[in-house]
Amino acid sequence: MGNSSAQQRRNKAAERRAQRIKEARRRRILTITAVVAVVVLVVGGIAYLWYRDYERRNISGVTEFDVPSYDHVDSPVDYERTPPAGGDHYPRWQNCDVYTEPIVDEFAVHSLEHGAVWITYEPGLGEEQVSQLAERYTPGSYVLVSPYEGDMPAPIVASAWGKQLTVEDAGDERLDNFLQTYEQSSDVPEPGAACSGQIGQTAEELDMAGDSGGSGGDAEAEDGGDGGDDG
């Protein structure tokens, strides 16, 4: 009888040890699984963010080119590209905003020098598409939106300093990627300079007011000068 009770106690003790070992093993497996899951999520998240950043900065269709000169000038500039995306320009800049009529190239280029993105579209573009483009501007943003009367390589062109993207449709997500990448970019001659407080009129309004555009007034002093020969 005594031997039987002792054996039962030993059996129960062995069962408890086996149960503890089993539970400890299960906890280790759960811990390892949780750690692996966290690592996978972290690595996956980093990889996803890296890919998204890479995809955003390597936008299909973007043309890049050098801008060898960016002086202040007093007369119209014969730009190599239409619309222009850099070069000599007037001492004053165009206020970032949405315009329903064409604006002066030389003012807009000065805004690009400050880190703005200029979205231009053919005057015959549909109203719904124009509205979609206008939504890319919000108060305080460094975005210009306007129709463009000159020859354009596509119905819609987004221009930043030394960079340009052509698209056929206002809903093209590359437009948003272009804005995210180049709006207020540090890769411009005057990063952080203003995009307000100067020219808020269209080309026609300035012409009617007799403003030739080239006279800079106090803008040059406010602007801090450019990186061309005029300092």
pLDDT in tens, 124-139: 999 999 999 999 999 9
Average pLDDT value for the chain: 86
What percentage of residues in the chain have a pLDDT greater than 90?
65
Is the overall model pTM greater than 0.95, yes or no?
no
How many residues belong to the chain? 231
φ and ψ at 144, to 5 degrees?
-115, 135
Tokens 């306007």 found at: 146
Nearest to 215 by CA among 198, 202, 200: 198
CB 226 within 8 Å of CB 72 = yes
